[in-house]
Structure formats: C-alpha cells, structure tokens
Structure 1
C-alpha cells in the first residue's frame, strides 16, 4: 500500500506543469526548459439558434427596411472549433438555415407596387457545411482555463450547401366558401426547379463565402455564451428561383409559377390583390445573399493531462 502511494505521488508530481516556468528532470545534466509548447491547443463545440435573413430579387436591398421583419426566419447550427494559437482558430460548422421572401409583403400602392403586382414568393431550406478561419482580436492566454472573459473575433471561409426553393400552389375557396392556402410543392416531393420557370436547370448544390463577427463571454471554466453575425454571398442567383430580370428570359413549359400576377389572392399570405397594370419590379442585381444571427452555448473540452517524457 505504501509503495502504491509513493508511485501515485510521483506520477502526480511529474504531471504538474507550469507553462510560464521551467522544469528540470532527475538525472538530467544542466537545466533545460520544459519542451511543452506555450499555447495549449484545445477544442470547443457549440450549439446555436438564431434568425436568418434573405436579400435577393424578392427582397432587394432597398426594400429590406420595409419587409425585413416579415421575411425573418430561423436557423440552427452546431460548430466544432480547434483553437490553434492565442489568435487563430479553425471552425467546422453545420447549419440548417431557412430563408424566405414574398412580393405580397410589400404594400400596394407604394414604391414597390410593381413587386407586389408580380406576386411571387418562395422559401428555401439551406443545409450548409462550412470551414472558416477565426481571428481572435484580443488573443487568449496559453491555458484554456485562463481564457479571456470576453473574446471578440472575426472570420472568413467557404461553405458548401444544398438547397431547394419551394412555393405554394394557388389559393382556393373550398366548399364552405373559406379561402384556403395551397400546399407547398415540397409536400408532394417537388420544388420550383421542377417547373423550369426560366427555362434553365440550375444546381441544387452550390458554394457560398461566409464572413462575419462575433464574441464569446466566459461563464465558467468550461462554458461560454456567444453571439455571432454571419453574412453569406452565394455563387448562385437561384436561391429564390428568380434571376435579376425574369421578364427577359423565355419561360419554361409551364407558366404556373413564372408569372403569378393574375392570381386574385396571394398564395402564401392570402392577401386580396387589386391587380394593376404591371411594370418592371425593383430587383437586386448579382448573386443572392443571406445573413444570420446566432446565440451559441459553447463548451470547451478538457485537454488530456500532459506528462513530460522520461529523461534519456
């Protein structure tokens, strides 16, 4: 029993290190610093939830102040971060992001009346896998337990995603005289791509460039709470199934979801529409974009105990 106690005591003593001090080994000639690196790399994981926002042909940048709240949707995410140095980290994220837009959110009459007359809408569920590099502005101490109380950061990376723009069928009046929303195309296993509304077949797999800012606030030795604002520029203009100027393209075999200006009711909001002489709607040029906010609970995984090597 005494031997066991002595061996255990020696092992514990060998495993106690101080990255700011020096360590010498029994039987070693001279005095040398511990070979351990100053910064202890470690991993954290987080779970987040927040809002998502779309910018594109159904919500041009000039109209976001008018309908931004109505087009707000949600997102969920899980992230794994490897903290490589006091300032740099690498993050692998998996996010589920819903975006949406609807011409009937604009008022008629108004500056976006032609968008209202167009009467298009969509929603899109984006499944995103991202890899980003993070720069911690204030840096962090060498020991995870001593990390800063508040740590702001910026990031830039690349993401791949799957998506499928969706819309409702036309609203209708049922046998009781009640106005009823149509079903989503996805409920029947389809989507807007099936109708080739602009005579093209775009890819449902694509790439975006994510960048943003955020901060972490230390709760205790293992847990932080964080806030993140992320912006994505997609390499496609078809997140909403609409290009910059739909009227300039030859529609596909079905006009059902290409021009909905003749419907008496907005399919998604059931607004009773006053059909006016349509004009050219205000559009957002370039690729579609979306941005997210996310509140995260972050858990820092403990490193295994590092013991020094035995002397030669």
Structure 2
C-alpha cells in the first residue's frame, strides 16, 4: 500500500520538529482479566473454575512492523481447593491455598501482520519474569494462616529440605490478537501461560512429614494445616503432592494500548489522534 501525500508530509514535519521519533513507537499498555493456577490442587490443565482477577500495567516499544519489546507489572490472586475437584482422593485430602501474586515481565511480541497495512493481527510472545507469591489458607477457626513459616513438609528442620523461595524466575509465553482502533489505540485479547521453577505455589510438593516431629518443630497449627482431610494423619513419607510436575499459572486478559505521543503536525493542524487514518503507522518509522 502506497502512503498518501498527507501521511508523508505529516511524517516529514514530525522528523523536523522532533528529531527523536522513538516516542512514536512507545505505547502504554493495560491488561485486565482472570488468573488461574495449575498444580497439585487443580486436576484440570485449563479451567475458569476458581479463577480470580488480575490486572497489569506496562509499556511497549515497536522495534519494527512485526516485533515489539514489552514490559508489564501484574498483580492479582490465584487459589485452589481439593474440595472443588471431582477426584475423591483429592477431596479427602482437603487441602487449599490462596495467594496474592506479583509479577514483573519482560518479553518480546511478534505480530503476524503489520499494523501499517492491516487493522488487526494475531501475535505470539515469550520472555522472562520474576514472580512473587505468599500462600495462605484458613484454619479451623477461619483465621488466615500463611503456610511457608509452618514448614508443612519439613522444610527447614528436616535434613535436605530447605525453605522454598517465594520470589522465583518464570517463563511467560502465549498468544493473542490486537485490533487497532486508530493510529494511537489498540484493543485485544491475550492468553499467557507462566512456566515456573517451583512446586510450592500451593505449599504442596512431596511427602507428609512425621506428625510428632512437625508438632515439636512448628506447633499444632502446622499439623492442622499440613493435613486437613478426614481420618487419621497420614504416615510419615506418604505422598502429599507430585514434585515431578512444577506448578504454573496463566492469565486470560483483555488488553488496551495507547500511544501517549502527540506529534507537532496533529497539534497545529487540528487533526485528532483519535481519527482513524488509512494507515496505522508512519512509513519508515516503525
């Protein structure tokens, strides 16, 4: 598609008045939707059951017509409970958790189509992130109880079992689609999975520790939170979780992106940045 004379003139004037045109490629991004968890307390690989809200804010920079660098800060909640599963053995175990999550994501996005030529594009993204979690549950008196200090699987007092870290590296990746409302605003939908390197998002990973040993080391609350099922406390060494499969989580979010840059030509000519032009971008600048 050949650029119009009007578009070329606008770009030339922008270059003359603002030599640093990188601002034209910078966008502010917002995401809002649902977060869910995948691990020992969730038998389904993907489900909206028990999903909670998550929101994100960040910035994006168009390196080219197809490649975008992006960074986001996300905050939300994930949770799961054995009682919500159909598996009777999980129901009998009766464990549960909830956690606020904080994530710093740095990733690259590849747009299949150029938004200089079309008004929408599917895309894929991948990157790295740091993720912070702090699992808690509610005891028999409905008191909020943080689980890591209780060492429910013997972390910190059993030889070879160290306390798990609550800030870990994760690999975010996924797919999405964007539609350009005009030159400066885009909306979309994104599905992103987080591959983590911890199996303790839910405070469940390996085996039950000896009840008397846990009681002596961490107290009665630790024993109560380590096993909340029916029947006697399991024998030491009985399986509590599956450490071979690391925990994960995923976001399903609506996205909104806006370019805060207002160029000289639009300010002086009275052209609104919200007016839909024939092209999304400036030829040669993206």
Alpha-carbon separation, structure 2, partners of 1:95 and 1:39: 25
Contact 1:41–1:84, Cα closer than 8 Å, also in 2 = no
State TM-score, norm by structure 1.
0.67
- Aligned equivalent of 1:184, options 144, 159, 178: 144
Q: Which residue of 2 aligns with 1:72?
A: 51
User: Runs of 4+ in structure 1 displaced over 2 angstroms?
Assistant: 15-19, 36-41, 245-254, 275-285, 301-306
CA displacement, residues 94-136 of structure 1 (integer Å, 9 cap, x when unaligned): 00131111011124xxxx1111111100011110000001111
Q: Does 1:237 align with 2:199?
A: yes
Unmatched runs of 5 consecutive residues or more in structure 2: 1-7, 13-18, 156-162, 266-286
- Aligned equivalent of 1:221, options 183, 200, 203: 183
- Aligned equivalent of 1:259, options 223, 227, 249: 227
Q: Which residue of 1 aligns with 2:149?
A: 194
Q: Which residue of 2 aligns with 1:246?
A: 207
Contact 1:155–1:211, Cα closer than 8 Å, also in 2 = yes
Contact 2:37–2:79, Cα closer than 8 Å, also in 1 = yes
Alpha-carbon separation, structure 1, partners of 2:48 and 2:179: 28
Match of 2:137, SS state, is coil
Unmatched runs of 5 consecutive residues or more in structure 1: 1-14, 20-35, 142-146, 172-181, 186-190, 263-274, 307-312
The Cα shift of 1:215 comes to: 1.2
Contact 2:154–2:209, Cα closer than 8 Å, also in 1 = no
State TM-score, norm by structure 2.
0.73
Match of 2:36, SS state, is strand
CA displacement, residues 237-282 of structure 1 (integer Å, 9 cap, x when unaligned): 1100010x333788563312111114xxxxxxxxxxxx59989678
Alpha-carbon separation, structure 1, partners of 2:195 and 2:118: 32
Q: Does 1:120 align with 2:101?
A: no
Match of 2:139, SS state, is coil
Q: Which residue of 2 aligns with 1:266?
A: none
Q: Which residue of 1 aligns with 2:16?
A: none
Q: Which residue of 2 aligns with 1:286?
A: 245
Larger radius of gyration: 1
Mapping of residues 20-169 of structure 1, within 5 Å? 42-60=25-43, 63-64=44-45, 68-107=47-86, 112-141=87-116, 148-169=118-139
